[in-house]
Structure 1
Amino acid sequence: MTVSFVCRTESALPRERLFDLARSIDMHLETQADAGERAVAGVTSGLIGQGQEVTWRARHFGVPLTMTSRVTSLHFPESFTDEQVRGPFKAFRHVHEFEQTARGSIMTDRVEFTAPFGLLGRIAERLVLRRSLERLIAVRGLYLAGLPDNPQA
């Protein structure tokens, strides 16, 4: 069974800048420093692009995890999608959408995932995973949205 959620983040940044921050490996590492996340294969720094992959290693819930994601769709500066090709989920898909507004932009994150392990996975989805992933995506969005409109940030 697939679990999904949506996070919307408003920012004063232009959507082009927010788009690039969202696909920056370096920014991802910065936002996931608490989990000790590292990019260990594929694109390990800079901006990830269409068809490219990155392999992440991190510790979540005290468990070491490795996940490889591929950018399966990229339409600058409107949207991009990354999907797990190997990793802890039965399926994981993250659609990032960007809309220009009068005061900056809005980033919408649409996440769909399915945990492994049948019934135990479904229980984990409901009790822990959904809330934890939603919080991770929301906090990451707020971090990116709060960065200055400066290419060095």
Structure 2
Amino acid sequence: MPKIHLKTFIKAKKEIVFDLSRSVDLHLLSTEKTNEKAIAGKTSGLMELNDVVTWRAKHLGFYQNLTTKITAFDKSNYFADEMQKGAFKSFKHEHFFEDFEDGTLMTDIFKYKSPFGILGILVDKLFLKNYMKKFLIIRNKTIKKTAETEQYKEIIFSL
């Protein structure tokens, strides 16, 4: 099972980083290149425990739908989202938030299983793991940029 482990230091309060990380609106902002849309379930605002959202986006040249659910939630410290339906065989994305004097350390652990057995393993090694890592890095850069400026207020406080 491939695993992507990312750490991003953000000069902002943990609560702000946590809220941006679970914001449907921020996610849409970070995925403009894939033309991602929230088409069902929670389509804006902040995700909470048991919230479900269906995303539609163009990845690798194809439009795909992916339904995820928030399956674990510890306010300002941790949450996890897991695929309910989609192109993967399964995935779990864990988000951890740690306070530091001058900001927050955000840690992502993304584990997934590709479909199609041996062919899926080959696709992982050839490009999928790198594709997913770049996708998450772009998301984290958007969270960082938004949290470290006044822009976070437009997303969190506009609800």
TM-score, normalised by the number of residues in structure 2: 0.93
> Does the alignment pair 1:75 with 2:77?
no
Q: Distance in 1 between matches of 2:144 and 2:131?
A: 20
Unaligned runs of 5+ in 2: none
- How big is the alpha-carbon RMSD for the aligned residues of Structure 1 and Structure 2? 0.9
The equivalences for 1:45-84 within 5 A come to: 45-84=44-83
Q: Which residue of 2 aligns with 1:107?
A: 106
Greater helix fraction, Structure 1 or Structure 2: 2
Question: C-alpha displacement at 1:138, in angstroms?
Answer: 1.3
Secondary structure at the residue paired with 2:45?
coil
Q: Which residue of 2 aligns with 1:132?
A: 131
Aligned structure 1 segments of 4 or more residues deviating by more than 2 angstroms: none
The equivalences for 1:31-46 within 5 A come to: 31-46=30-45
Question: C-alpha displacement at 1:57, in angstroms?
Answer: 0.3
Q: Distance in 2 between matches of 1:25 and 1:143?
A: 13
* Identical-residue share of aligned pairs (%): 33
Secondary structure at the residue paired with 2:12?
coil
> Does the alignment pair 1:152 with 2:151?
no
Paired residues, number: 152
Q: Distance in 2 between matches of 1:18 and 1:47?
A: 12
Unaligned runs of 5+ in 1: none
Secondary structure at the residue paired with 2:70?
strand
Q: Distance in 2 between matches of 1:18 and 1:63?
A: 31
Q: Which residue of 2 aligns with 1:26?
A: 25
Question: C-alpha displacement at 1:111, in angstroms?
Answer: 0.3
For residues 7-29 of structure 1, the C-alpha deviation after alignment (integer angstroms, 9 at most, x for no partner) is: 11010111100000000000000
Q: Distance in 2 between matches of 1:7 and 1:27?
A: 18
Q: Which residue of 2 aligns with 1:10?
A: 9
Secondary structure at the residue paired with 2:153?
coil
Name the amino acid aligned to 1:84. M
TM-score, normalised by the number of residues in structure 1: 0.96
Question: C-alpha displacement at 1:135, in angstroms?
Answer: 1.0
Q: Distance in 2 between matches of 1:139 and 1:60?
A: 14
Question: C-alpha displacement at 1:125, in angstroms?
Answer: 1.0
Question: C-alpha displacement at 1:35, in angstroms?
Answer: 0.2
Q: Distance in 2 between matches of 1:151 and 1:52?
A: 23
Name the amino acid aligned to 1:115. S
